[in-house]
Amino acid sequence: MTTPTSLQDADDYQQIHNGIVRLLDTARTETVRSINALMTATYWEIGRRIVEFEQGGESRAAYGAQLIERLSVDLNQRYKRGFSMVNIRQMRMFYLYFQQIEIQQTLSGESQNLIQLAKTFPLPWSAYVRLLSVKNADARTFL
């Protein structure tokens, strides 16, 4: 590796180095935000699917009590963590509290729908979980 040969070279190097550091830091921050929004959209969609499954008929209504427990066991077995019964109930409640959100069907499939849906959830999942404890819908929307 070569070192700068003059003070001007050192200043020029520092400028490009600092610019690259800012660029990388911004990219990493935006990546985390994108992942958080996409996961939040995924949890909303999981909640929607659970609610729609539960509303699918009387035979399913009886099964619905066991659904969350079974999903928790199976999803944790596959993904190792993140799908406790409490978390899955929160996903279901998240959909119920924010079900007015509509997602347009596209020809490009589910991943495109999730990307579109993610744009509606600017907060991280943990913030929405906190909002679930706010019982007044108007207050929850205002927050």
140 CB-side CA count, 13 A:
15
Q: What is the pTM of this model?
A: 0.76
Q: Tell me: the pLDDT tens digits for 60-119?
A: 556 666 899 999 999 999 999 999 999 999 999 999 988 877 654 444 456 668 888 888
Structural domain harbouring 30 = 8-142
Number of domains the chain is built from:
1
Three-state SS letters, 101-138: CCCCCCCCCHHHHHHHHHCCCCCCHHHHHHHCCCCCHH
- Would residue 130 count as lying in a domain? yes
Helices 58-79 and 85-97, packing angle to 10 deg: 120
- Would residue 3 count as lying in a domain? no
- Would residue 110 count as lying in a domain? yes
Q: Tell me: the pLDDT tens digits for 2-17?
A: 665 676 788 899 999 9
